[in-house]
Amino acid sequence: MNHALQMLCRLLDLLIARGLLLGLVVWLFSVPSFAANPAKPASPSGSPQEVLQSSVKNWVAQSRKVSADEVLLAPLDARVKVLACDKPLAMDVPFSSAETVRVRCARPAWQQFVRVSVASKAPAIQAQAKVDTPPESAKRWVLVASVPLQRGMVLNETHVQRAQVDASVMPVNVLEQTTEVLHAEVVRDVRPGVPLRSQDIRPTVLVKRGQMVLMSVGQPQGFQISARVEAMQDGRFGEQIKLKNRDSGRELSGRVQGPNQVMGL
């Protein structure tokens, strides 16, 4: 009797063990494998320049009802650094030609001009250009305001940028190089994207009468001496002004080179 009871217990233990093992196998095959699930695609990434180019392509494709693959972009000016934008880029066509797209960022504030063309419409555009528009050679790289410029603002390289503009609608005396606005101030308000003319700016006052300025004599790459002298009059960049050595009382002359800096004559 005891032996029969022992055999029955062993049989029950065996069935329970097999049942648990079978349940474990069924559970493993019923739960979806983590490896089988497709990985989520990574968020799109790219440099600020790549984001700008992609945004322009999509905007032009949507506005002209074409495929983004048909939109061609001219290379950006390598001297202009594209900054990352915290807000969605805004785009429009500020000039008469639809080939120039203006891209603007609200934060940080900047704008960039991009030359575009549509491959499927290139023949038609070229045919019309022969009759109605000036040739490509009539376009020039000029200096335009990159931000709103207000009268009295002292300019630096961040306030302007170079853009290609149709020569037929270009005003006279247009500036072309960033160096032309250094140490200059605006004499009238200028809207962003508008070409800068020589009459829109003037040299800013870098030295004021009564101030102590640094006067240098000699060659910058060779022997040079410097001394502190008093400015006897206001001076703009490049102007010749009178100076005075307070210790000796001697009057001197110098040419304004920068803020409170003159080169002795």
- Cα–Cα distance for residue pair 153/168, rounded to 1 Å: 29
Statement: residue 10 has pLDDT above 70: no
pLDDT digits (tens, 9 = 90+) for 137-196: 577 888 888 888 888 888 888 888 888 887 777 777 888 888 888 888 898 898 888 888
pLDDT digits (tens, 9 = 90+) for 241-263: 999 988 888 898 888 888 888 88
Residue 239: the pLDDT is 86
Statement: residue 38 has pLDDT above 70: no
Most confident of 25-39, 89-103, 151-165: 151-165
- Cα–Cα distance for residue pair 51/217, rounded to 1 Å: 50
Return all residues near 167 (Cβ < 8 A) that are at least 6 apart: 134, 138, 139, 140
Q: pTM above 0.85? A: no
- Cα–Cα distance for residue pair 246/253, rounded to 1 Å: 14
Residue 231: the pLDDT is 92
Residue 243: the pLDDT is 92
Least confident of 127-131, 213-217, 221-225: 127-131
DSSP assigned state of 233: S
Question: What is the chain's mean pLDDT, rounded?
Answer: 76
Phi (first) and psi of residue 225, to 5 degrees: -120, 155
Cβ atoms within 10 Å, residue 207: 24
Query: Which among 126, 91, 121, 119 has a CA at the least distance from the CA of 105?
Result: 91
Cβ atoms within 10 Å, residue 152: 11
Could you tell me the domains of the chain? 44-133 (no CATH), 135-203 (3.90.1210.10), 205-264 (2.30.30.760)
The one-letter code for the residue type at 23 is G
| Sign of the four-CA dihedral 180, 182, 184, 187 | positive
